[in-house]
Amino acid sequence: MIPGTDGTWPSGAMTAAQITSIGKVEATSVPVPGPQPGHALVRVELVGLCGTDQELLHGEATYVTDGRIQLPWTFGHEWTGTVVATSGPAGEIGPGIRVVGQTMVACLSCRTCRSGQRSLCPRMQEIGLYGIDGAAAEYVRVPVHALVPVPDAVDDTSAVLVEPAVTVARALVDTRCSLTDDVAVVGTGTIGLLAVMLAHAMSGDVTAIGVDPAGLDLALRVGAGRALRTGEAPAGEFSLVIEASGTAPGLLEAVRVARTGGRVAAVGVVGGAVRDFPAGEITLRGLSLYGIRHGLDHYDRTLKMFADGLLSAEPLIHSRHSLTRPGEAFDALANRSTGRPKVLLSTRA
């Protein structure tokens, strides 16, 4: 069932990729989500997979361990598609409009949201992570206010990478990255490589630090001036460090290589405690540590950066897989060897 974009809300069954039990993912048949006031139904084109999806699959994500989601669960928080129908006033979001979805869906009515801090909403839900079914399906139902139109100049492959890229954009904005900065990016996954691209555009002087030789080679191709293995960079060299690995050793390395008075942006999410964290160094060296909680307010400007060529998706794509064979996609995600980090699910394949 692939309806047009005449505004009719379809019904019946659709294919979804679901985590049905710990360690098991499969294509299933589920009902098309029905209309809800203020929502749109989007025909999904592409879904990006990342480490968080792997953690969901293996039951390691906090969303699973703290009971916020129950299996079976439709994952998918990085995605793009085309609106097929809306329920209620939709403004510029109407049938036929290509969109990306904001992962974090704030309530818009609490005191925090009303004060302009949507990303800190205490009633937050996250598409594909908890509260709202994900986009690894033929259709996803999303509040209209959480959809952002995609310009014609941005293709679907670029649009699907907007979700991880907005966090990079916020990190560089919050830390005031400028031409005077010597920037290091720790980690060569999707977020790390996007950070290399954007920091190169903003400062021109970027060093990639990591553990994967293929990832470091790719970092050089997308804008890094140097690529160093963890531990090779001199201590205290960089005015700005983006920690994008989401590992305890990565965070320790970020603090080690930051110069006195420097800034460290923690973009990757480290699971658990960090042993031997040099907390005193934050004070004694006057370091500023920024915790970057997504980039909810940066979707439009990030789309423009893809349109303008400051960010590029294609060098990061490892492989594309059919929505009907999600196991192949997760196998590819777990066994990447080319340095290209991003695995995609396609509803058209």
* Cα–Cα dist 9/172, whole Å: 40
How do the domains of the chain map onto residue ranges?
Answer: 13-161+313-346, 167-291
Owner of token pair 């080319």:
338
Domain 13-161+313-346 and domain 167-291 have a common topology: no
Q: Are 188 and 180 in contact (CB under 8 A)?
A: no
CATH superfamily entry for domain 167-291? NAD(P)-binding Rossmann-like Domain (3.40.50.720)
What CATH homologous superfamily does 13-161+313-346 map to?
Answer: Medium-chain alcohol dehydrogenases, catalytic domain (3.90.180.10)
d(CA 108, CA 116): 9
The answer to whether the CB of 9 falls within 8 A of the CB of 41 is yes
**pLDDT tens, residue order, the chain (349 aa):** 344 556 899 999 999 999 999 999 999 999 999 999 999 999 999 999 999 999 999 999 999 999 999 999 999 999 999 999 999 766 789 999 999 999 999 999 999 999 999 999 999 999 999 999 999 999 999 999 999 999 999 999 999 999 999 999 999 999 999 999 999 999 999 999 999 999 999 998 999 999 999 999 999 999 999 999 999 999 999 999 999 999 999 999 999 999 999 999 999 999 888 999 999 999 999 999 999 999 999 999 999 999 999 999 999 999 999 999 999 999 999 998 888 999 999 998 6
Distances (CA, A) of 78 to 47, 157, 248, 281: 6, 11, 25, 36
Burial bucket for residue 67 (CB in 10 Å: 0-12, 13-18, 19+): exposed
